[in-house]
Amino acid sequence: MMKINGILKKLPYTEPFLFVDSLLKITENSAEGVYTFKDNLSFYQGHFKNLPVTPGVILTECCAQIGMVCLGIYLLTKEGEIDTEGFQIGMSSAEMEYLLPVYPNEKVRVVSEKIYFRFSKLKCKVVMYNDRDQIVCKGTIAGMLKLKSDA
């Protein structure tokens, strides 16, 4: 079984496009992690004037990285050890509902539940909470996850 730190090291992202600070737990059927949207992120400069808000597409990306990619890496390692060079990912669909804004320096928690993982496709139900435990956004995200050797 892969440890949480091993999953984080295998993520195919780096700053400024890494939206996972830590994983709180991960199982075969779920993942939970956190991220703080730091106030120096470039998209806050223009979104919006005098009241910066995290764009919905970035909230979706955070949900995907924690809820689908981290869980996908965990599931793929059950089939054999993967490394960053041998891992491919592509989001195939996302249907999200945005309920509350996320401001600079706000910490969020993403909880993901696996709907299915078959034929290299992972589909998850995701919910993002703010630090007051209110739902920020929720929906479903799906993507293809596989080793390059399977291509």
Residues recognised as catalytic: 47
As given in the structure block, the two tokens for residue 16 are 């400024």
- Kindly list the distances between the CA atom of residue 39 and the CA atoms of 61, 104, 120, in Å, as whole numbers in the listed order: 17, 4, 36
Which residues make Cβ contacts (< 8 Å) with residue 112, sequence separation at least 6? 30, 31, 32, 63, 66, 67, 68, 71, 124, 125, 126, 127
Count of helices and strands (H, E) across the chain? 3, 6
Say how many CA atoms lie within 13 Å of 148 toward its Cβ: 6
C-alpha span between 75 and 67 (Å, rounded)? 12
